[in-house]
Amino acid sequence: MAAESAVTTCFRHPQVESHVRCTRCDRYICPSCMREAAVGHQCVECVKEGARSVRQARTVFGAPVGTVPLVTYVLIGLNVIAYLVELARPEFEYRFAMLGATPAGHLPEGVAHGEWYRLLTGAFLHLTPGEGTFGITHILLNMVALWNVGRVVETQLGRIRYTALYLLSALGGSVLELLLDPMSYSVGASGAIFGLGAAYWVMGRRLGQDMRAVNRSMAGLLLWLVISAGLTSWQGHLGGLLAGGVVTLAFAYAPRDARRTLVQAGVCVALPALLLVLAWLKATSLTA
């Protein structure tokens, strides 16, 4: 009886005899519960507790280091799916494209007539083959730019900040287009991508990178902004550039303490509120 009482078992598997203790909690553990530690072995629960107590490395902008650019992949997928729907049903493009209002005498449509979703849905659509100046080149150029710039920006900002940046840049482009050219009809992710370009430039300055390469990228964007004045919606491009720059400035230069999240979230709430107020005032004037 004395020999039986001396038998020790794993605290997680009482039926398994064990003679090894966890170096952290001092409980007996069986081979399936052992995890190698710097000294001896630890149990599964202590390893998990230790992992929670270790502070995860983060970028200057607050994102976990090593973030996989999943949002960029999802955005590219959404644009491609929307494009395939456009090819199958051409009326889909007109129904969701960015349109402020129609001229007098036409069927009233657009943001000014309550179709507010167009402020964002137009940013996921592109010109189809045989339509406009670019055709299929439109989506190809935008997706290549999104692939190249988006992944870099997302790994620095993290998924939540990056998503906010992308959507607010798209919204900023649509609102400026509504303010300056409400009768125009446009589609494309260019406004959002211009916002990513602005973010890339701001982040480069914040990180102290060699700005020659960063400035060349920004110069290319500005050159395209000038060229686009005669080809596509330069208002949407400029609006996305400005909105993306404002958002990224908040992400990059917010205090690196408990106030950082509050400042960043505050800008991400205040900017769309301002944009929507401007859009509402413009819509009201168009339907007065």
The 3-state DSSP class for residue 218 equals: helix
The 3-state DSSP class for residue 192 equals: helix
Task: Name residue 98's beta-bridge partners.
Answer: 186
One DSSP character per residue, 82-128 reads HHHHHHH-THHHHHHSEE--PPTTSPP-SGGGT-TTHHHHGGG--PP
Cα–Cα distance for residue pair 94/84, rounded to 1 Å: 14
**Are 267 and 246 contacting, i.e. CB atoms less than 8 angstroms apart?**
yes
For the annotated catalytic residues, the residue numbers are 190, 237
CA 134 to chain centre: 26
Cα–Cα distance for residue pair 9/4, rounded to 1 Å: 11
